[in-house]
Amino acid sequence: MSDETPSTLGRYIRVKHGFAFKGEYFTEKMTSDVLVTPGNFALGGGFQDDKKKYYDGPVPDGYVLQPGDLVVTMTDLSKAGDTLGYPALIPESVGTRYLHNQRIGLIEIKDGVEVDKGFLFYRLRADDYRRHILATASGSTVRHTSPGRIYEFEPALPSIDDQRAIAGVLGALDGKIMQNRRATRVLERLAQAIFRAWFVDFDAIKAKASGSISFPSMPQSVFDRLPSCLVDSGIGPIPEGWEMKPIGDVVSIKGGATPSTKNSEYWEEGTHCWATPRDLSRLSSPVLLDTERRITDAGVQCISSGLLPPGSVLMSSRAPVGYLAIAGVPTAINQGFIAMVCDGPLPPTYIWQWAYASMDAIHARASGTTFPEISKKNFRPLPVVVPPPDVVAAFQSLVDPLLELLTATIKEDGVLASMRDYLLPRLLSRSVRVERANG
């Protein structure tokens, strides 16, 4: 098999359809069975596991995916077909079974052909394959592809040794990106755990009330000044002497807008980030460093909130309610947000974690017939605990470095992904070659 003799993919692979698992067994509680859906596919290809869809019902034989299985999306709900046809590899996961759901195709390599699964994963991320899938897709609101359309694609495949070498280089870069993403999830969970212990469950105050003389991670001087009892705040117990205020009193609440897309003056050669909820939906970590679209100075002037400063906490207010991120760069926003500029007594890391911990209350205040939306009017009265400055400063000293490390890791991921995306077409076209040991 050589670069000079392209053949259709149908010569090398079969695509197996998934099973229509019954909706009555879908559940929000955590189970060991997770349905693979188009939402598990990252833009550009690859597996993402941020939003799991759990299943608690019977599983037919032959529809449990194995680690390393190569799958593709057969359906995409976006008009642009954002992930349609893109591939992903099922990850290793202790205690989780990934189920082969409908709208997901399992790619099986035929016996007797020399195709490396890792190479094929990258080959199906190339631009020519992407153009083929979109050009042959059916549907306008929901885009579909099929095994037959995938089979029609004609890749030029190098030798099996070259396939493995190419997959090895690109896989090393993706492996480091995945390692970084696991690290950022650990950092997020650590920040959440600290916030919950200090400001939701009030574990330090409870520990002091029970006779403890210190609390893990809290400076001794701060612990010594803590009250030793909780008092009723009207919406639940809080530490004695601490305040409960509306969120609108401790941050500046901002909304956004969309400058006219018909006026090129607002968009062409734009240099300022302009965020939509879609940008937040694509994040694998809660720091926004770039956006899909950018606007000009004139575009920024059309938005009353202008450019929000770094450290602003962004929350999607509709479709859906509740995507969260901290702006890592100056950012303008569209009308689908509530932004919290942290210009009061509470820092961005505190407000970020408050919003995360308050999401049930936020959703409860959303309304709407077509889709839920929370207005700034309904958002402003939400209560937030305001601790004394020394407690806030102690929290910052713990969590701000976590956010800085998380941000640095995200930036490294960007560099690695750019390197991978630069190499991918060049390795596939053989304009860059991998030097193999022993010839």
For the chain, which residues make up each domain, given as ranges?
9-157, 159-242+387-439, 244-386
9-157 and 244-386 agree in CATH topology: yes
Chain segment 301-345, per-residue pLDDT in tens: 999 999 999 999 999 999 899 999 999 999 999 999 999 999 999
Determine the residue type at 54: Y
Res. 357: pLDDT tops 70 = yes
Phi then psi for 73, rounded to 5 degrees?
A: -85, 135
Is the pLDDT at 86 greater than 70? The verdict is yes
Rounded to the nearest integer, the mean pLDDT of the chain is: 93
Q: What is the pLDDT of residue 18?
A: 96
Q: How confident is the model at residue 52 (pLDDT cuts 50, 70, 90)?
A: confident
Instruction: Give the full edge-to-edge strand order of the sheet including 104-109.
Output: 13-17, 104-109, 70-73, 87-89
Distance between CA atoms of residues 99 and 33, nearest Å: 7
Residue-level pLDDT at 51: 75
Q: Which CATH superfamily is domain 159-242+387-439 in?
A: Bipartite methylase S protein (1.10.287.1120)
Structure confidence at residue 42 (pLDDT): 87
Q: Report the percent of the chain where pLDDT is more than 90.
A: 84
Q: Which residue has the tokens 């997020």?
A: 188
Which homologous superfamily does the CATH classification assign to the domain defined by 244-386?
DNA methylase specificity domains (3.90.220.20)
Q: What mean pLDDT is predicted for residues 193-199?
A: 97
Q: Quick check: 382 and 358 in contact, CB under 8 A?
A: yes
Query: Per residue in 245-274, pLDDT tens?
Result: 999 999 999 999 999 999 999 999 999 999
Region 214-226 average pLDDT: 95
**pLDDT for position 239:** 96
Report the alpha-carbon angle 416-180-338, nearest 5.
95
Q: Would you say residue 368 has pLDDT above 50? A: yes
Tokens matching residue 428 = 């596939």
| Helices 348-357, 160-195: crossing angle, 10 deg rounding | 90
Q: Residue 293: phi, psi to the nearest 5? A: -120, 155
| 360 pLDDT above the threshold of 90 | yes
Q: Say which amino acid occupies 295.
A: I
**What confidence tens digit (pLDDT) does each residue in 371-430 have?**
899 999 999 999 999 999 999 999 999 999 999 999 999 999 999 999 999 999 999 888
330, HSE (Cβ side, Cα atoms, 13 Å)? 8
Domain 9-157 sits in CATH 3.90.220.20: yes
Q: Average pLDDT, stretch 202-213?
A: 96
